[in-house]
Structure 1
Amino acid sequence: MGSIETPARRYERTPFGKEMLKHFSIDPTYTELNNGEYSNSSPLPPSSMFGLGPVVLTDIGSFGSVPTVILNKAHELRKRCEGRPCAFIRYEYPAGLDKSREAVARLLNAPPETIVLVANGSTGSNTIMRNFAWNPDGKDEIIQVSIIFAPLGKMTGYVGELNPGKVRTRQVQLTYPLEDDEVVALFKAGIQASRDAGFRPRLGIFDTISSIPGIRLPFERLTALCREEGVLSFIDGAHAVGHLNVDLAALDPDFFVSCCHKWLFVPRGCAALYVPTRHQWMIRSTLPLSHGFIPTKDLDQRKVDGKLAQDLANGKNAFVHNFEFVAPMDNFGYLCIPESIRWREEVCGGEKAIQTYCVNLAREGGKKIANILGTRVLDNESQSMSAACMTNVLLPLTLGGDKSEGQHIVRARPGIQFTVVDWMMRKMAIEYETMMPVFFFQGAWWVRASAQVFLEVSDFEWAGRMLEDLCERVGHGEHLKA
């Protein structure tokens, strides 16, 4: 029958920076400064003076780049499947999928039987939220941070619609900059406020690294807090794998999702969904429900050491079996995970080397942009917020008020926050051949830049000059003429 295995090739160790570009398919005229996903669908602030209801901008997604050899690996698998579709999908694909799950499990230090692969982070989050078992007494509350990824925030709202009278959401407002102690204290206060109001804080949701703004949260301490308080923890780790160290055995969250296509150099879309065996009884359905579903009446519900006691003919537990085949889709990227991890080790020197370079570059690059613009980077005194491969820089734009040194005035009018965002990002893409998220946060405009192995400080200096030009043009009202 053959095998999807190919002889292992040795990769060339390459210095970080411009030389690394030879391994990627990025257009020579394009500067890739946005590795993470961007979602800007927040409502206008209550103090907006405009007298309008919530104005929502459509989500914008952008994702990591993939080494050319890894893309070719996916193409080879796709071609092999086209040559023998039924045999590949039925026999070869599951074998390759198991190896990918095991590779992710080693990277995250988790048992392979707790890891499955799904199309993206939103699919993983939706799978958890739509399967979660709420108590029927109507006292359950979701405790979530205010900078939650916008689509996940919408999902928690939808859960309330889907389970009327059973669950509601309580938001923990995080106004930055904050030290880690303050974030933990605020989340703990949110849990206590839920109890004081007569509710049951049931599920706590927070990020490893948030999307907008792109900052590291003290997710380890928040997970421990949830455990101490008897609250189940759901970590949105969309930016975790390939970005920072995550030890799930030590962390022991109740649910965890992370995208492999953002920072791990895996073709889109691919995400890891972690559910420890103690909760796998709850995750009853994939999205969509498919062949792997086993009706409750057919499951042996006896518990042995917190695990479902049934054994399937293929030797896998019901959780893994359920996600093995979820309708036909282009999921060849799933099978590229082991090759991507090996590429990172041989070409880049491994996870620690990548993380060290990118975090340092993000910090230095952010300072360069801020110096050019005459503004500042979003960070705290301990720099725990900036221990990530992304940086957030304040733009020299002022909403209303008097002109101050180095600032450009943006006259208040309905929806102006998003008008500026849309205009600046369109100009970046069309005129400058790049893209960085611009977003309105805490009453001001910010930009987020991502560091990656193929970037250097000079790229951030170039970005600073570009932003200086765009902000000056906004100050002249050009954004109103488009």
Structure 2
Amino acid sequence: MDAANSPKFGKAFGEKYFMFRPGFIHLNQGRSYGGYPHLVRDALRSVQDAVQAEPDNFVRYIYPAKVDEVRELIATHMHATNTDEIVLVPNATTALNTVLRNLTYQPGDMIAYIQGTYGAIEKTVDYLVETTPVESIRVPFDPTVDDDNTLVEAFRSVLQENHGRIRVAIFDTVMSMPGLRMPFERLAQICRDFGVLSAIDGAHGIGLINLNMEELGADFLTTNCHKWLFVPHTCAVLYVALKNQNLMRSSIPTSHGFQPLPEILQKKQYISPYELPASKNPFVFQFSYTGTIDNGPPLCIPAALRFRQDICGGEQAIQAYCQDLAREGEKLIVEILQSRPISIPETKRVAFANVRLPLEIVSSVVEEKGHSVPLSDVGKVIDFILERLAKDYNTFLNIAFISGSLWARFSAQVYLELEDFEHGAKALKELCEKIANREYIKL
């Protein structure tokens, strides 16, 4: 689709194709819950109807074949070398748990991860430290001041200083909070240089940035389809390079596709209809059925890809609009809040605007003056902002405490325009005034 025939994105586009209630401004596409057009909703209902028409036949026989077709589409979209490197799981947290819990650890082994890693994944690492011989090490990173080179060198130093001990390293394609592109290609190369497995958290990936698995050379990568690709939640891709599939002994949860070791099989006899077909990749077969789920979201991927291509004009058109909107929206938010953004080069720009809130975080109540918040109240303040945004201002965006300050993250999307960012910024300005007046304590 050429520029002359490209759709006019913005509010009217959103009203025509998306399902948000009138007056609601969705500034948080990048959160777990996403948002998708009614054409994808129709595909979801169609799958649900098909399941209910013949539940056993669909789940046992029709669904696996359809999932194989979807995996082929995704493999092409992500430039994976082999379709059997791609399986579908509910979400990125499940995918990374699958990778990290399948790896075996010996005393002295380490898991490296970058400061700012998504909380659920950092806690997964903490759990493994509790329950296995593995140790963890965190690579220092301050996203508000450190650039790519600083992070890359810190990452390289950690791997160098612990050479031979680090089993796997975890890093993002795009950090969640604040929302900025990470130098994941360079980090993956460093992992190869040191013989360390790379586990890439691409929760913010497909539909937001281009992913080329053949060029990336990652060992493991996951990416959520329900964040930026316009697929209903829950649905994510788990990529495992063919050379590493022997390390993935089980899906999570372990289910019928698991193949016990021969010494265990000798002690018992499994009689089950879920036997590994001779033509099926054992790794893929494990993920074909892991328990009863909503079969709809994964089978909505073709409808989402068609909408993005036929209605939106393709990935490049979507990315260009969202990045431009994030850039201009960020400037407007800074002006309204009289604050500052995170300083990043335009090469790192994705569909996020990140702006510091005009509130000073102080260590104690004694220090309070003006627009200040005691550190002990930061959790209450975040809860206050989020709830009031949803209930009083008909919008939502993400707030986080990062490097001693509160930051707001706005998601740009094809159904938004600049005045929507203005609405969100003005709401934050009013809420910051309420916080300065301690109204968050009164509620």
Task: Answer whether TM exceeds 0.5 for this pair.
Answer: yes
| Matching residue within 346, 350, 374 for 1:383 | 346
Q: Deviations over 1:5-33 (max 9, x none)?
A: xxxxxxx9732111221111111121000
Paired residue for 1:59?
Answer: none
Q: How many residues align?
A: 423
Q: SS of the residue aligned with 1:169? A: strand
8 A Cα contact 1:180 1:384, kept in partner: no
- The one-letter code matched in structure 2 to 1:20 is F
Distance 1:343 1:112 in 2: 23
Give the letter aligned to residue 335 of structure 1: L
SS at match of 1:280: helix
Shift of residue 279 of structure 1? 0.7
- State the partner residue of 2:187: 222
Q: Deviations over 1:222-258 (max 9, x none)?
A: 0011111211111000000000001000001011000
Is residue 2:141 matched to residue 1:185? no
Matched, 1:470 2:431: yes
Aligned to 1:57: none
State the alpha-carbon separation in 1 of the partners of residues 256 and 13 from structure 2: 42
* Cα distance, 1:449 vs structure 2: 0.4
CA displacement, residues 283-316 of structure 1 (integer Å, 9 cap, x when unaligned) = 11112111111123299xxxxxxxxxxx953512
1:139 aligns with 2:100: no
1:332 aligns with 2:296: yes
Pair 1:392-2:354 in alignment: yes
Please give the alpha-carbon distance, in whole angstroms, between the structure 2 residues aligned to 1:19 and 1:314: 52
> In 1, distance between residues paired with 2:108 and 2:429?
51
Q: Is the 8 A contact 1:170 1:194 kept in 2?
A: no
Change (3 A) 1:473 1:105: same
- How far apart, CA to CA, are the structure 2 residues paired with 1:242 and 1:120? 15
SS in 1 for 2:171: strand
Q: 1:282 to 1:174 in 2, by over 3 A?
A: same
Query: Structure 2 matches for 1:348-359, cutoff 5 A?
Result: 348-359=312-323
Once the 2 structures are TM-superposed, how far is the Cα of residue 389 of structure 1 from its aligned partner?
A: 0.8
- Selected match of 2:135 from 161, 168, 175: 168
Q: Which amino acid aligns with 1:269?
A: T
Residue 17 of structure 2 corresponds to which residue in structure 1?
23
Q: How does 1:141-290 map to 2 (within 5 A)?
A: 141-163=110-132, 166-175=133-142, 176-195=144-163, 200-290=165-255
Alpha-carbon distance change, 208 to 411 in structure 1, aligned in 2, over 3 angstroms:
closer
Opposite residue 479 of structure 1, the aligned amino acid is Y
Question: What letter is aligned with 1:131?
Answer: N
On the 8 A contact 2:351/2:413 being kept in 1, the answer is: yes
**2:28 is matched by which residue type in structure 1?**
N
Q: Residues 2-17 of structure 1: matches in 2 within 5 Å?
A: 14-17=7-10
Does the CA-based 8 Å contact 2:363-2:374 persist in structure 1? no
Partner residue, 1:93:
63
Residue in 1 that maps onto 2:413: 452
Provide the rounded CA distance (Å) in 1 between the counterparts of 2:166 and 2:289: 34
Report the Cα distance in structure 2 between the residues aligned to 1:365 and 1:316, rounded to whole angstroms: 49
Report sequence identity in percent.
38
- Secondary structure in structure 2 of the residue aligned to 1:203: strand
Deviation of 1:194 after TM superposition, in Å, equals 2.4
Higher percent of residues as helix: 2
How many Å apart are 1:476 and its aligned residue?
1.0
Look up the match of 2:334.
370
Residues in 2 aligned to 1:77 and 1:272: alpha-carbon distance in whole angstroms: 19
Check if 1:129 corresponds to 2:100. yes
Query: Contact 1:400–1:409 at 8 Å: present in 2 too?
Result: no
Whichever residue aligns with residue 458 of structure 1, its letter is E
SS of residue in 1 equivalent to 2:258:
coil
Q: State the AA in 2 paired with 1:347.
A: I
Tell me if the contact between 2:47 and 2:295 (Cα under 8 Å) persists in the aligned partners.
no
Corresponding residue to 2:285 among 314, 321, 324: 321
Alpha-carbon deviation of 1:126? Answer: 0.8
Which amino acid letter does the alignment assign opposite residue 346 of structure 2?
Answer: Q
The 3-state SS of whatever aligns with 2:401 is: strand
Partner of 1:69: 39
1:304-331, CA deviations, whole angstroms, 9 ceiling, x for partnerless residues?
A: xxxxxxx953512100011001111113
Q: Which runs of 5+ in 2 are unaligned?
A: 265-274
Per-residue deviation, 1:342: 1.2
- Over the aligned positions, Cα root-mean-square deviation in angstroms equals 2.0
Matched, 1:78 2:61: no
Structure-2 residue corresponding to 1:479: 440
Shift of 1:91: 1.6
Residues 457 and 108 of structure 1: CA distance in aligned 2, closer, same or farther (over 3 Å): same
Give distance in 1, aligned partners of 2:305 and 2:438: 47
Q: What is the CA-CA distance between 1:161 and the residue it aligns to?
A: 1.7
Between the two structures, name the one with larger relative contact order (CA 8 Å, sep ≥ 6). 2
The residue that corresponds to 2:391 in the other structure is: 430
Within 1, Cα distance between the matches of 2:138 and 2:290? 33
- 3-state DSSP of counterpart to 2:146: coil
How far the C-alpha of 1:356 sits from its partner, in A, is 1.1
Decide whether the 8 Å contact of 1:202 with 1:231 is kept in 2. Answer: yes
Q: Where does residue 115 of structure 1 map in the other structure?
A: 86
1:401 positional shift: 8.8
Is 1:13–1:346's contact at 8 Å kept on the other side of the alignment? no
Q: Distance in 2 between matches of 1:253 and 1:428?
A: 39
Amino acid of the structure 2 residue aligned with 1:398: E
CA contact (8 A) 2:48 2:295 kept: no
The counterpart of 1:102, out of the listed 53, 56, 72, is 72
**CA distance in 1: counterparts of 2:237 and 2:262, whole angstroms:** 28
Specify the code of the residue in structure 2 equivalent to 1:238.
A
| Alignment partners' CA distance in 1, 2:254 and 2:68 | 20
Give the drift of 1:399.
2.0
